[in-house]
Amino acid sequence: MNDNARLNYEAFTSLLEQHNMVVTAAEVHGVISGLICGGMAKDDVRWQRHFDELLNDGFGLPAELKKAVNLLFYRVYDELLSQARFELLLPEDDMPLDERLDAMMEWAGAFLAGFGVVQQELNKASPELQEMIQDISNITQVSGEFEQENEENEAAFVVLYEHLKLGATLAFEEFGKGQPAARRPTLH
């Protein structure tokens, strides 16, 4: 398996299963995104300890899995820094909506866990980010609202997906250790 393949949802899921991990690829990506957006610097190796505590009961990862998680960390960091390519690691669009929604809710919960470990001063966040964090928390509980697979629910899924991306980007802009981004004007 080449390094790029490991960053694909299905391939990452297989790798996690091979190592008897009881977490999903969405949770792995969510925790990593949360750690980075909470302010974990790219060269701060403490993120690995936080990751292990959140997703592996404090135990280290097997070498192959650790390499894949490290690659994912650096990819997510670079994507957030570029402000253009950041995407959530979720099942492909051709998968059933309920599976994609479950993964999205897992991602949101994992993001909040990772973010909360690093960023414990949410009161210093802008009101916009505080509201966004509350929205992300609400997204962890939306499954009952999507009982049918139809165009309306598919469109709602896309809106939630984009909202999560925006929330992560906003958190990274405020607390991430990347290059300072220009402040966007507040829309009323």
Torsion of CA 171, 163, 108, 183, to 10 degrees: 0
pLDDT tens, position by position, 133-156: 999 999 998 876 677 788 888 999
pLDDT digits (tens, 9 = 90+) for 88-115: 999 998 899 999 999 999 999 999 999 9
Q: Which domains does the chain have, with CATH numbers?
A: 5-175 (1.20.120.740)
Of the pLDDT bands very low, low, confident and very high (cuts 50, 70, 90), residue 176 is confident
- The residue among 98, 92, 111 whose CA lies nearest residue 54 is 111
Q: Mind listing the pLDDT tens digit for each residue in 47-99?
A: 999 999 999 999 999 999 999 999 999 999 999 998 778 999 999 988 999 99
Residue type, 110: A
Q: Are 69 and 54 in contact (CB under 8 A)?
A: no
- pLDDT number for residue 1: 36
